Amino acid sequence: MRKTLVLGGLMLAVLALNALMPVVKATIMYYWDSIGFVAGIDYKYPHPDRDYYQISRYISWIVRGYRLYHYQMDWYQSLGLEITATAVAGAIGVAVGALMPKGGTIIGGIVTIVLAAYITYVVRAYFMDELECIWWWISNLFVDWLISNLDWLLPACQSEPAVAYGYMATYFASYGYLRIGCITFHDPLGVGNPDPATPTDTTSTGTVGGGGGRNYPR
């Protein structure tokens, strides 16, 4: 009887200690561009840690890193972008069908279905994250240049759009950065990609610091 009580007490003690241990996430937590990033089997691509920064999927979120601005498009905007892209596919299908002398309706319908399926696949596979939000990154240098030159850029976009867009394209070509989802489209600065340095690491919840995010209402 005494042995049973002792063993039972030890088992209860072990269970209590396990309950007090920190929960380990099946993710990788690391810093990139001074912002805490997360990756793992449950994440389609690395992005700022939602848990640490309290990022809701339903709120657009922005944080300035060391060299980049980090943006999350909220779920509504991300879904709207996907629907818009699909609608464009439908418009292309209608236009193709209108050009066909015979069987235009059938051909246009096939083009619409194929294009819509392809666009939906691309958006969801490469741009949306695991919560169906789209993340994108752009360089501080380019955004800061735009802000500091708005006083003449805005009027020029209306009076001399070719000149204004030429200036923006030239500056972006040299000092821009654009990454959407898991694809980096433009990186003349050599910033690189938010890939974890040690892909075998795991991090306990509540042990990561740094960065300062801000939730912006839609």
Quick check: 208 pLDDT over 60? no
Q: The pTM is what?
A: 0.72
Q: Out of 22-26, 43-47, 95-99, 135-139, which region has the weakest mean confidence (pLDDT)? A: 22-26
41-76 pLDDT per residue, tens: 889 999 999 999 999 999 999 999 999 999 999 999
Q: What is the pLDDT of residue 212?
A: 41
- pLDDT, residue 3, reads 52
- How close are the terminal C-alpha atoms of the chain, in Å? 65
- pLDDT at 121 (0 to 100): 87
pLDDT digits (tens, 9 = 90+) for 140-174: 999 999 999 999 989 998 999 898 899 999 999 99
* pLDDT given for residue 143 in this prediction: 94
Out of 10-19, 58-67, 166-175, 187-196, least confident range: 10-19
